[in-house]
Chain A
Amino acid sequence: MLKDTNFKIGLDVGSTTIKCVVFKEQNIIFKSYERHKAMIKEKAIELLSYINKNILKNAPAYISVTGSSGLGLSQDANIKFVQEVYATKIAARKYYPNVDVIIELGGEDAKILFLSGAPEVRMNGSCAGGTGAFIDQMAVLLGIGLEEFDELSLNYDKLYTIASRCGVFAKSDIQPLINQCARKNDLTASIFQAVVNQTISGLAQGREIKGRVMFLGGPLTFFKGLRERFMASLKLSEKDAIFPENSQYFVALGAAEYAFETEIPTSLSSIIKSLKTQKKSDGKLTLPPLFNSESEYEEFLSRQNKIIVNFADISDYSGNAYLGIDAGSTTIKIVLISEKNEILYSKYLSNGGEVLNIVIESLKEIYEKISSNGNKIKIAGSAVTGYGEDLIKSAFSLDYGIVETVAHFTSARYFLPNVDFIIDIGGQDIKCFKLKMGAIDSIMLNEACSSGCGSFLETFATALGYTAPEFAKKGLFAKSPVDLGSRCTVFMNSSVKQAQKEGATIEDISAGLSISIVKNAIYKVIRAQSPDDLGTNVVVQGGTFLNDAVLRAFEREIGVNVIRTPISGLMGAYGCALYAKDNISKPSSTITSEVLEQFSHSVKSTTCKNCPNNCRLTINNFGNKNIFISGNKCNKYNNVSNSIKYNMIEYTYNKLVNLPSNKGSRGKIGIPMVLNMFENLPFWVAFFESLNFEVVISPRSSRKLYINGQHTIPSDTVCYPAKLVHGHINALMNKNVDLIFYPCMTYNFDEHFGDNNYNCPVVAYYPEIIKSNMTFNKNQTFIMDYIGIDKPKYFEKFAFKIFSKYFDVEKKEIKFATNKAYSAYKKYKQDLKNYTSEAINYANQNNKQIIVLACRPYHIDPEINHGIDRLLSSYDTVVLTSDAISYQANYKVKTNVLNQWTYHARLYIAAKEITKHKNMNLIQLVSFGCGVDAITTDEVRDILEQNNKLYTQIKIDEINNLGATKIRIRSLLAAIEERNNY
């Protein structure tokens, strides 16, 4: 045993950094904070050697290691590991014994420790939203440094709603805002606010954060703006918010203390020795290399180089030219083509959040080239596609705005006329579509998840200190690529962490990431079974495929040689130019060089007061005449007339919220407008009004209402409609009601469409969550008994049993109310049936398309569907719901799966009904996290495709932006049109 020592060392190995403190007695005599760039072992050896030589001078020390990446090191070096949250707790107990709550945000981890009361720790599990890495990513997206980011945030005007659940979702909220030129001050502050919301809802999960709160970790140390958001949101005074000294070393302090309390001193030289001798563990999973030899790579390249794109010198050309712009999520692509489709000019640029300036510069460059060659070229047509479509179209008066899918199809068809499958992997989306009979047959987009995309690779590359192409190239000849699976970025991060722990090289990780991008695309987005699923003539496009490693991995995975054009990254823009050329029939309106010279631009934001949606608007003013307004959920500002009057979602919603009317002598009973209570509302309103209650329903859902209940949500992965329940109950608590009625219902009405009449588990038992996680006022009674409404006879019997517990009521009163309830429900359904028939007649007579939204009754809540119905109306379609369609049917659909849920059985009926009408199509709305829809979606798709109908699915969550939704809807409408023309 070694002699006693005065030294204690804490080593904190996080996901990106390694932190170390050395104590001599009670004083810190050394500390260091460095990025380890995934070379954990090497860094540790270097650091410990330095300490041993210069500070300890070979004396032994108490040492322990902590941190999310510290476990591997501790095993290799044979040092005691202490869990990082536990280490934090030890340090807090020693240095700040009065703290009640600790919030710590790290690179990829977020934690909350409740110290007073029942001690408890929470850490992010499967979701890394709202961490330092997320803020880094957002700064890259905005093209600004972290310091600037922070400064900007202190000066904000308004906060945008940014989804707080996951970094990926937040990103898809922010991207359109960037493209619409929202102010960076507002964006940065909103991003910080999203981090705060994520911490509160995702981590605290129902437990209130109060008392003295200590903030730890890099982001909270460095960002004043983030601190400010936290303090404001938690309503903390200066004295209750503690930002300790040595914040970034805090965990390391705890580790040192832990070592001192529990360990015996060891000599660092023995630790260093065992680290050096440690071999790679062979437990990790590896894949075959992408290329076995240089010659294999050569052959691959020569095959790819066969596709030829013609270029022409802009200075030699005279005649008409056509402009195509693809304003993608992270990049802008601009192409100018000749009458012979030769490329005269092209640009591929990162947009850095400055969409307009980049286009202006490119256009100026084009016009300069034209004028320096004697103005022999005329821009005779122009089109734009991508996220920035609307903005750019109106800023530069372009002729066409087309949906991405059409742009990509147009260019792919040009190079390969018989193309039957296109996959485009861009910055943050994957778009794939199958083509049948010259029309887009089915579209697959990545749902709110961008793990398989270019920006994902880029983020990883940047974190490890490389550019994306450099990084991808490293993987080409990797000997044993790491198998990272095919899942979300967050999971991928920890897979990479694990691989690093097991000693994988950068090359192996790079190749592994390229392969996982491809796997994600194939298995998550396309969900292909075999190469035949993709077709035989596959064209790949998008910047990500410019990386040979990704392309190779793709060919490998699907087992088919695919075509990548030399302008893979420009295909969208090229498609736009081709589209403009083929379609233009009048003089082009494209901005002229004179007007461009005087181009000016200003942005302001405001709230629209025209409807209860209260959208946050961003108004872009382009000097002379053009104004572009965005952020609106309707098409009010987009020059589209709203002539369609049949919108079932709106009709049903309005009908329901206007139901209650009576004043009642028995008092007020509150009903939350949530989940199963939507469609059953007519039933309950009639029931309680017959018992002389005044029925008060909870107010219209909104973001604010949601946030008010957010801190009581126990499961962060449950669907958004369920999460909203907390806000509604909270709102009812603040209304002067005596009773709040929200029953548990295992079963719903039996409509005989399926084998049983269940509610899904979440709908059935959510009142239990409310009872368990929310505190009611003493003068309010929460009625959440289990009740069945399927059989009137039993309902009457049990209703008496239940309600007589809460108020004096006679059997005959219940009997009367029961009759009223059932007939009100019947009447309600009849009314919707009539509306449906009217709507169908109207559509048939006026030659309109009908879109049936296949959804659940609660999806009519505008906060849940985000106004998709209005969007559809604005595209001149009649909107119906699967619920209302199913009311008309009286048969069963044979399914391959167990058909046992009342609401879900209607989806199959609706799908079947749609196949009977030529002008009817279906869009299925799926709430993120809906486990039952994992089963229904494939079935609905089968029913439709067997009958030669298109299937479209839209996943919805807290995300407020309709960008991806618009792509789907427009692609669907374009496909319907092409089919009709065929």
Chain B
Amino acid sequence: MSVNYDKSGRVIFTRQMKKTYKLLIPNMLPIHFELIKNILQQRGYNCDLLQSSNENIVKMGLQNVHNDTCYPCLLVVGQFIDALKSGKYDPNKTALFITQTGGGCRASNYIHLLRKALKKAGYPHVPVVSVNLAGLEKNPGFKMSLSLIKKFISALIYGDILMLLENQTKPYEITKGTAEKTTNQWVKKLSYQYKNSNSFGKRIMTQNFKNIVDDYAKIQINKTPKIKVGIVGEIYVKYSPLANNNLSAFLQSENAEVFIPGIMDFIIFKVDNRIVDIDIYGGSKIKRLICCKFKQYLESIQNIFIDAIKKSNKFSPPKPFETIKKNVKPYIGYGAKMGEGWLLTAEMIELINDGVENIVCTQPFGCLPNHIVGKGMIRQITNKNPMANIVCVDYDPGATKVNQENRIKLMLATAKERLDKNNNIH
């Protein structure tokens, strides 16, 4: 098939390609992205969620992007190129999906670095499809309709609730594997619901949330005291097991209950940034109004989610976005928006407020925003919250698991000591 280019020389993903091409999606959040994949499949895209986690990914990354580029970029690019070279896919019939956020962090360059790398590796003809809400880079074969956007958002929020409930149940379940099974069942069930294309309406969401919570609540558990550990950080390293060496599984194997703040706050945060930008630097009032409306919509579904969990009394619900935002105010300005911005600091504070004082703050080695909003805030956080027990872990191709786990174990040792002390008192 001939390749079409746009004016800037970008390979276009055509309508025809939609029918014949395989679309590859990188896997950042296993549950969320599985739902997204299923949504796309129902829309007629033939897609695969990349599950690979071999050494060749890092190698391909190192060979094809500048070695000082951040680790997530290296992995995403490496994973794509590894897939193209694996023989599993026909490079002449494969396209790549990547999200694009924009913003002053170098992460907004991933898509460009991916294209550069594809050229270097001999795949200049492979189309890269940008998934974004800002209307960047249009492709006739892939259009972000309002209903698709809504579906994606619902997939993210379903992902959040399933991840949260699984994490809160798994460490205590009596029959190992029940929580995971429940999650898988719900992923299937929700994907099936998407076919009827209205499972993202508020009414259905309310019902689904209730059923989901009920299902997890049914799982038999034995609530022994466990160390509670929160994971925050640069978004890809925080969520992706490939990037963080299965951090969440490691913590669970060390007998900890893991708290991972969901992705919904990040989405609202990105919308909120646009409003804040106008508030502190000036700009269009209409644009501000649209953003406010969109933010309200997102917050309203977040609230349904929070209410569903509150009602059960069995699980600890996340806090609404506005609460998180309010609580971070003494620490950092709302103008700090690049990367995870003030939200990263806010998540640490929220975890501490919820009694999760042990935190792993993950970041790619040399992550620019994290110098500020992660490592840079820890002094202040521990000053104001003396019980905070935070360890910063850097991830990059050279960092070894031993070194990372050693540091995490140190944090766990302190946590364990405190847990034992508390139990003796009670």
Contact = CB atoms under 8 A, between A and B. Distances in A.
Interface of A: 68, 71, 82-83, 85-86, 117-121, 123, 125-126, 205-207, 285, 483, 485-488, 491-492, 494-495, 497-498, 501, 523-524, 527, 529, 714-715, 717-718, 722, 744, 746-747, 756, 758-762, 764-766, 768-769, 772-773, 784-788, 790-791, 793-794, 797-798, 894, 896-898, 900-901, 929, 931-935, 937-938
A788 B104 CA distance: 14
Interface in B280-305: 280-283
Given A207-B379, A901-B104, A933-B68, 10 more contacts: A82-B413, A123-B407, A126-B403, A495-B400, A497-B400, A768-B333, A768-B373, A784-B333, A798-B282, A934-B67
A798 B400 contact: no
Contacts of A718: 371
Contacts of B400: 491, 494-495, 497-498
Given A71-B402, A788-B280, A931-B366, A744 B335 contact: yes
Contacts of B417: 86
B106 A934 contact: yes
A855 B70 CA distance: 21
Given A744-B335, A798-B280, A938-B66, A71 B406 contact: yes
Nearest to B67: A524
Interface string B99-123: 0000111101100110110001100
Interface in B323-339: 331-333, 335-339
Interface string B396-414: 1111111101110110111
**Residue from A798, A931, A932 whose CB has the most chain B CB atoms within 10 Å:** A931
Contacts of B375: 205, 714-715
A756 B376 CA distance: 26
B248 interface: no
Contact of A759 (B104, B106, B337, B401): B104
B96 interface: no
A897 B112 contact: yes
A762 B372 contact: yes
15 contacts: A83-B406, A83-B413, A207-B379, A486-B398, A498-B402, A718-B371, A746-B277, A758-B103, A764-B336, A765-B338, A772-B331, A784-B333, A788-B281, A798-B280, A931-B367
A897 B113 contact: yes
Interface of B: 8, 55, 58, 62-64, 66-70, 103-106, 108-109, 112-113, 115-116, 120-121, 277, 280-283, 331-333, 335-339, 365-373, 375-380, 382-383, 386-388, 392-394, 396-403, 405-407, 409-410, 412-414, 417
B281 A794 contact: yes
A118 B382 CA distance: 7
Contacts of A744: 333, 335-336
A523 B67 contact: yes
Nearest to B392: A125
A485 B366 contact: no
B66 A935 contact: yes
A501 B402 CA distance: 10
Contact of B406 (A68, A717, A765): A68
Contacts of B397: 485, 487
A125 to B, nearest CB: 6
Given A529-B64, A715-B371, A798-B282, A125 B382 contact: no
A797 B412 CA distance: 50
A393 B300 CA distance: 77
Given A491-B399, A497-B402, A772 B377 contact: yes
A932 B116 contact: no
Contacts of A769: 371-372, 376
A72 B368 CA distance: 34
A664 B307 CA distance: 58
A929 B58 CA distance: 20
Contacts of B407: 123, 125
A121 B414 contact: yes
A783 to B, nearest CB: 12
B109 A768 contact: no
A121 B69 contact: no
Nearest to A904: B106
A498 B405 CA distance: 12
A773 B379 contact: yes
A741 to B, nearest CB: 15
Contact of B338 (A125, A761, A934): A761
**Residue from B62, B338, B375, B376 whose CB has the most chain A CB atoms within 10 Å:** B376
Nearest to A81: B409
B55 A483 contact: yes
B281 A798 contact: yes
A125 B399 CA distance: 9
Contacts of B403: 125-126, 494
Given A125-B407, A744-B333, A523 B62 contact: yes
Contacts of A768: 332-333, 336, 372-373, 376-377
A58 to B, nearest CB: 31
B281 A121 contact: no
Nearest to A717: B366
Given A83-B406, A794-B281, A773 B380 contact: yes
A937 B383 contact: no
Contacts of A765: 335-336, 338, 369, 372-373
A894 B407 CA distance: 44
B68 A761 contact: no
**Residue from A497, A764, A784 whose CB has the most chain B CB atoms within 10 Å:** A764
**Residue from A120, A765, A768, A790 whose CB has the most chain B CB atoms within 10 Å:** A765
Given A769-B371, A932-B368, A935-B113, A126 B409 contact: no
A119 B338 contact: no
Contact of A786 (B335, B372, B377): B335
B69 A935 contact: yes
